[in-house]
Structure 1
Amino acid sequence: MSAVPNATKSPSLLSNRFIQTIIFSNVLLQIGIWVRNFAILLYVAEKTNKDPYAISLISLAEFAPIFVFSFIGGTFADRWRPKRTMIWCDLLSAVSVFAVLLTIHFGSWHSVYFVTFISAILSQFSQPSGMRLFKQHVPEEQLQQGMALFQSLMAIFMVLGPMLGTFAYSNLGLEYSIAVMGVVFLLSALVLFRLPKDKVEPRVADTKGQFRKELSEGFRYVWQSPVLRMLGAAFILAGLAVGVAQALSLFIVTERLGKPEAFLQYMLIVNGAAMLIGGGVIAAFSKRVPPQALLGFGMLVSALCTVVIGLSTSVSITLLAQFVNGLAFPSIQIGISTMILKWSHESIVGRVNGVLMPMFTGMMVISMSLAGTLKHAYPLVTIYGGSGVLFLLGALLMIPILKQRAPENLQALPQQ
């Protein structure tokens, strides 16, 4: 339930101490993540003479932990105190960064992969803990607005992050760039001490099989909720669509537009700037729109724009489609996050997040891995048309649940 159930009118979102603290922490983490991503990417590309296999291992190190640790992390996030979990995750991330930094300094450059790998593992415990705190400390009517605010923050770093990461590596080199990451993780941990104290909740003593039981409860909770079940199906379709489009975007630039590879950065900047604007607009109007309608709208626009990008040979039309897609894309992420929070009891939100997130990421990685094979077999127009159809199917899945309202008294588990 919301943290302010008896208030007649909630204070403004930005005056919420929890929101202020989480935003500050996320700014620091985003700086570290983007510096890490580009420093390691540029370093590995330089060290291996742009070997595709070595570069692909970076993505593997980032996404593989989601499959293995998302379910586990979500379950433990529901067991442990969320504030303490987030602080420990940032501290352990900082320690691991400095440990890897020492190994790099003494000659083992391959250990750069562990910076991404360890950070990705710890985020599977920290992120669902943050969702739990969101559920506790943000009033129900402000959840969607809060998600929009965070989406705007992510969009800012999608625009500034690549420039920040490239600047850090070009001017500081790998070791100092990784040191920057370690420092910002430490600072984030310190900032998180401002969060309200964790609620002390009585827990049933651990018994043999208790963890497995709690893990299975997350799957059962999602399956027994019509809204979350539809959300999971939409996740699968969106992941498949996003993965193919993302993996083949470079060929849109070179084959459909006839531009050099470097032109891709301008498409990404246009998309990121539009996401920033879209996140701000949704933040202003999100209270009036149900999250499932937001999600359906975003997927419908993505369907149209994906097809247009695949068909277009005009730079202006492609950039316009990228911009419109960027305007609507925040509604997908905001709708998803809000639905998870509104249709999940506080005691199980970590497990629900742990069940649903791998559906999107898993399908995205699978479709990215198949993108090369599809490219050899079909023209780009057909592939992007197929991605558009997947987005459209995801939008159609929202129709049966458009009128559903989040229950006022959520139970820890649905009644059987």
Structure 2
Amino acid sequence: MDNMVEHSPKAPSLLRSRFVQTILFSNVLLQIGIWVRNFAILLYVAEKTNNDPYAISLISVAEFAPIFVFSFIGGTFADRWRPKRTMIWCDLLSAVSVFVVLLAIHFGSWESVYLVAFISAILSQFSQPSGMRLFKQHVPEEQLQQGMALFQSLMAVFMVLGPMLGTFAYSTFGLEASIAVMGTAFLLSALVLLRLPADIQEPRSEAVKGQFREEFVEGFRYVWRSPVLRMLGLAFILAGLAVGVAQALNLFVVTERLGREEEFLQYLLMINGAAMLIGGGIVAMYAKRVAPQALLAIGMIVGAVCTVIVGYSTSVPLTLVVQFVNGLVFPCIHIGISTMILKWSHTSIVGRVNGVLNPLFIGMMVVSMSLAGALKDAFSLVSIYSGAGVLFLVGALAMLPIMKHKAPEHAESPSEAQA
């Protein structure tokens, strides 16, 4: 069912939309909980294992591995279930699971910290595509890219504030209090989401209602039939491999290449986040003038160069400057990807398209994160980061065949795509 808003002659400001306001507030709460959790677990595991690279990389595996498995399923169910209700239940269940794991940590072994990221990641695979569906329903077509830039700017704010917030919470209150903050944030997010507009009742034929397997496969067929979504999938695979290994070994860039303490990582992320905030604002201003596939290619090319330099650099000022440049263009990647998924997908299949493409990126991230510890033992950080840069570059080249494709005014429905 196409959104009726997109036919209006002039769309109102995004920030005046009750839907956008509610989603933004919910995301603020979730980002607070996630950043406090991320740094609490990272610093706690590093302290417990004396910076064991395998134990540290396992944090990322625990967070991203379930995404690879559940994204396919979550995207299909997101297209079947009512999105508002799905998001509220996912946040509530996340909050409950966090407090249950908190009890396990208090009375059991410290390894239970991995469960916090693991369970939250599973539930997010049902919530996130539901949010994409709501975005497609309630935001006018011409404002989709601007809307993605707005959310990227919010993420950038927490790239600046999150590391400080997470480090402060852990160093001041400890692990258990930090994880409790996450549970409370998810609970408050569920309450905020009650303000969302009521779910739109989309008619579904009786013949389709029970056919989960057919709908599941339909998502793969839809992506394969679209040359744009197909090439986006290839870029996802290459970018996932590059991002995974670089992200898992960031801590070692700080300690080995720059000779600083682990806590210095927060400053790298803060510089990167400040640049993302500026970059997101720039993209929001010029969103209508640049094709999303061009945005993605630009982000990946600059990301390739910056990744190689980060691996080579032993200079703190140089690394900080490169992190700033990388952050400045990173919104191009996120906004380009999200806009392409929304513009080339029909409302009724957005969840499944997201569920097909997202695991390609996350799955490759998990693979490279899982191998990060072994790669670190076998190769230098310079070699690893150079390889990651090459993968980014090849991903950018994959955009060339679809660079001139223009987004359709109305994306084909699954039935029309098969016709």
Q: TM-score, normalised by structure 1?
A: 0.93
> In the TM superposition, what are the counterparts of 1:37-186 in structure 2 within 5 Å?
37-47=38-48, 52-107=53-108, 109-186=110-187
* Cα pair distance change 1:395/1:127, threshold 3 Å: same
Aligned to 2:404: 403
> Bigger shift: 393-402 or 306-315?
306-315
> In the TM superposition, what are the counterparts of 1:12-411 in structure 2 within 5 Å?
12-47=13-48, 52-107=53-108, 109-205=110-206, 210-259=211-260, 261-411=262-412
Q: Does the 8 Å CA contact 2:78/2:129 hold for their aligned counterparts? A: yes
* Cα pair distance change 1:270/1:223, threshold 3 Å: same
Shift of 1:329: 0.7
Shift of 1:69: 0.7
Percent same amino acid at aligned positions?
Answer: 78
Distance (whole Å) between structure 2 residues aligned to residue 110 and residue 245 of structure 1: 24
Indicate the RMSD between aligned Cα atoms, in angstroms.
Answer: 2.3
> Bigger shift: 164-173 or 251-260?
251-260
* Cα pair distance change 1:242/1:296, threshold 3 Å: same
* Cα pair distance change 1:181/1:377, threshold 3 Å: closer
Shift of 1:37: 2.0
Distance (whole Å) between structure 2 residues aligned to residue 312 and residue 39 of structure 1: 28
Residue by residue over 1:227-268, the C-alpha shift from the partner in whole angstroms, topping out at 9 and shown as x without a partner, is 000100001111112123223334444554455555443322
* Cα pair distance change 1:144/1:46, threshold 3 Å: same
Shift of 1:51: 5.1
Shift of 1:180: 2.2
Residue by residue over 1:25-47, the C-alpha shift from the partner in whole angstroms, topping out at 9 and shown as x without a partner, is 00011111112222333344445
Distance (whole Å) between structure 2 residues aligned to residue 411 and residue 197 of structure 1: 25
* Cα pair distance change 1:326/1:119, threshold 3 Å: same
Q: Does the 8 Å CA contact 1:3/1:138 hold for their aligned counterparts? A: no
Shift of 1:325: 0.9
Distance (whole Å) between structure 2 residues aligned to residue 353 and residue 282 of structure 1: 22
What 5-or-longer segments of structure 2 have no aligned partner? none
Shift of 1:308: 2.7
Distance (whole Å) between structure 2 residues aligned to residue 412 and residue 279 of structure 1: 31
Q: Does the 8 Å CA contact 2:163/2:269 hold for their aligned counterparts? A: no
Q: TM-score, normalised by structure 2?
A: 0.92
Q: Does the 8 Å CA contact 2:54/2:373 hold for their aligned counterparts? A: no
Q: Does the 8 Å CA contact 2:57/2:373 hold for their aligned counterparts? A: no
* Cα pair distance change 1:389/1:50, threshold 3 Å: closer
Shift of 1:208: 10
Q: Does the 8 Å CA contact 1:3/1:135 hold for their aligned counterparts? A: no
Q: Does the 8 Å CA contact 1:298/1:329 hold for their aligned counterparts? A: yes
Q: Secondary structure at the residue paired with 2:222?
A: helix
Distance (whole Å) between structure 2 residues aligned to residue 167 and residue 408 of structure 1: 47
Distance (whole Å) between structure 2 residues aligned to residue 113 and residue 155 of structure 1: 25
Shift of 1:24: 0.2
Q: Secondary structure at the residue paired with 1:9?
A: coil
Q: Does the 8 Å CA contact 1:34/1:164 hold for their aligned counterparts? A: yes
**Residue identity in the other structure for 1:213:** E
Distance (whole Å) between structure 2 residues aligned to residue 357 and residue 150 of structure 1: 18
* Cα pair distance change 1:371/1:179, threshold 3 Å: closer
Residue by residue over 1:278-323, the C-alpha shift from the partner in whole angstroms, topping out at 9 and shown as x without a partner, is 1111112112111111101111111222233334444333322221
- Alignment counterpart, residue 415 of structure 1, candidates 404, 412, 418: 418
Shift of 1:5: 2.7
**Residue identity in the other structure for 1:123:** S
Residue by residue over 1:166-213, the C-alpha shift from the partner in whole angstroms, topping out at 9 and shown as x without a partner, is 222333333333332222212111111111110112223477981111
Q: Secondary structure at the residue paired with 1:4?
A: helix
Q: Secondary structure at the residue paired with 1:5?
A: helix
Q: Does the 8 Å CA contact 1:77/1:128 hold for their aligned counterparts? A: yes
Distance (whole Å) between structure 1 residues aligned to residue 50 and residue 302 of structure 2: 39
Distance (whole Å) between structure 2 residues aligned to residue 102 and residue 311 of structure 1: 43
Distance (whole Å) between structure 2 residues aligned to residue 391 and residue 12 of structure 1: 35
* Cα pair distance change 1:108/1:310, threshold 3 Å: closer
